[in-house]
Chain A
Amino acid sequence: MRIKSSEITPVAAFRQRRLLLKAAAATAASVATAYAPLSPALERQGGERLSGVRKSFLSVMEQPTEREDIVGYGNFIEFASDKSGHVERSQLMAVRPWTVAVEGLVAKPRRFGIEDLLKLPLEERIYRHRCVEGWSMVVPWVGFPLASLLKQVEPLGSAKYVEFISHADPASMPNVRRPLLDWPYSEGLRLDEALHPLTLLAVGLYGEVLPKPNGAPIRLVVPWKYGFKGAKSIVTIRLVEREPRTAWMKAVPDEYGFYANVNPDVDHPRWSQGKERRIGEFFKRKTLPFNGYADQVGQLYTGMDLKKYF
């Protein structure tokens, strides 16, 4: 019904109206209690189905976490410092028009419109997702390998690292008005990590367009690293020569390293990394080295002291 009515009303106006109503209702609801669950009106986000999505053999054979939990629980610090405040607040973020600039040490720098990126061959990748805070999920992302985008811009031989810059809009993102991190949020990968077939740019979730709380319209997913490496709402991808200092490294250098590979043997000063709570499960489970992707990515780090390069 919703899609049909949007064919009559201009889509943008229709959505904006709905969003304002939703946001107003949501704000009122969220004031009621800090631990409030998702309000029913917000349970479905995104909504538009992505077509031609292929299954991928890189998916794990585990039960995906409930959609409601994937959308309703997480960190999107630009909007909120708790685990659910971002859900309502992110509704006012404008995700169209959207472009991703791929620049830096490349032969053919380019600005990609989100519509063009959505036309790339899309795959569903069901990945484990492990947050540095000790919880985890299984997420059915939809996207394409970062490598396929990087190939189009032809990285130069001098490019050794890739930097990811997120959208930072003080008007719609309350925490961007506060000096919590050195905004915009930024993350980075070594070039070989970025080119690894598991490294994904996600544009969808559960077969639909990526919901705003999960980093619409496009975000990074690196399943063997802690979740914070997955920069949300990306606007710039820059190829560089030196290891970039990420937003978290600048804010708390002794707690967050550049690599941030999931590692049960390297403790974080705040959270034990030996176990994790899978959202939806009661008992904790053991955390696996590289989040269970050791066979695929272990060779990237041969000879490296993972306690030093945490």
Chain B
Amino acid sequence: MQPTPPQLAALKVTLFLLCLAPLAQLAWGAAYNTLGANPIEAITRSTGDWALNFLVITLAVTPLRRATGWAWLIRLRRMLGLFVFFYAVLHLVTYLWLDQFFDWNDIVKDIAKRPFILLGFATFALLLPLAATSSHFALRRLGGRRWQNLHRTIYAIAILAVVHYWWMVKLDTFRPALYAAAIALLLGLRAWWRNAKHLR
């Protein structure tokens, strides 16, 4: 299955709009006051969840491409990766603004005292160079190999993001464990392919 260029363009537009749906749901909820008793917590949780969801989806593109043989799937990956960044920005801004109201004193204390906050910041910092080098132009400037090496930090980011979630949870680690399992599977597949290639 190979979509024609107009089909691919239509697919990209549809996917783009679909990726904005979680934000639309939050905006709707905020406008109509349906986010529950603690809307700011709901927004923080939801944007964090969606950053992680898009991370899992982005990491699934390559395995899916290999399983189906649909090489064109790779052309959707940059957009998905940028949506990881997009929801991570919203997640961070929610924390800085709606949770801490830019009280830098408190924010610095929070980072120093709470390992999961520190980890969240570190994860976000690692996302920045990837978002900044997502364009074709950056790819050409860096050269394929260097670009690829840089973008492999997404594997570390995925692990850090799950640990950030895990450490935030007070008691029931079921949901972070689900993400951990998904990411372990997606990274494990890559390690396995690598090994298989070396053995051959």
A residues bordering B, Cβ < 8 Å?
33, 35-38, 66, 68-69, 72-73, 77, 81, 83-84, 133, 135, 175, 178, 180-181, 251-252, 267, 269-270, 272, 274-275, 277, 279-280, 283-284
Closest chain B residue, CB of each to CB of A267: B113
- Bound Cα distance from A50 to B132, whole angstroms: 63
Given contacts A77-B171, A175-B172, A251-B171, contact A272 B38 (CB under 8 A): no
CB<8 Å pairs between A and B, sample of 9? A37-B34, A68-B37, A73-B37, A81-B174, A84-B36, A175-B172, A269-B114, A277-B40, A277-B41
Closest chain A residue, CB of each to CB of B32: A37
- Chain B residues near A72 (CB, 8 Å)? 36-37
Closest chain B residue, CB of each to CB of A38: B36
- Chain B residues near A175 (CB, 8 Å)? 172
**B46 in complex: contacting residue of A35, A269, A284, CB < 8 Å:** A35
B109 in the interface (beta carbon within 8 A): yes
- Bound Cα distance from A81 to B168, whole angstroms: 13
B116 with A270: CB separation less than 8 A: yes
- Bound Cα distance from A35 to B25, whole angstroms: 10
- Bound Cα distance from A180 to B177, whole angstroms: 14
B45 in the interface (beta carbon within 8 A): yes
**B38 in complex: contacting residue of A36, A66, A269, A279, CB < 8 Å:** A279
**A279 in complex: contacting residue of B34, B37, B106, B170, CB < 8 Å:** B37
Question: By DSSP majority rule, is chain B's interface helix, strand, loop, or mixed?
Answer: helix
B101 with A283: CB separation less than 8 A: yes
Q: How far is the CB of A268 from chain B (nearest CB, A)?
A: 9
- Bound Cα distance from A270 to B114, whole angstroms: 6
Q: Which of B98-117 contact A (CB under 8 A)?
A: 101, 106, 109-110, 113-116
B42 in the interface (beta carbon within 8 A): yes
- Chain B residues near A272 (CB, 8 Å)? 106, 109-110, 113-114
Given contacts A272-B109, A277-B40, contact A133 B170 (CB under 8 A): yes
- Bound Cα distance from A267 to B113, whole angstroms: 9
A35 with B36: CB separation less than 8 A: yes
B126 in the interface (beta carbon within 8 A): no
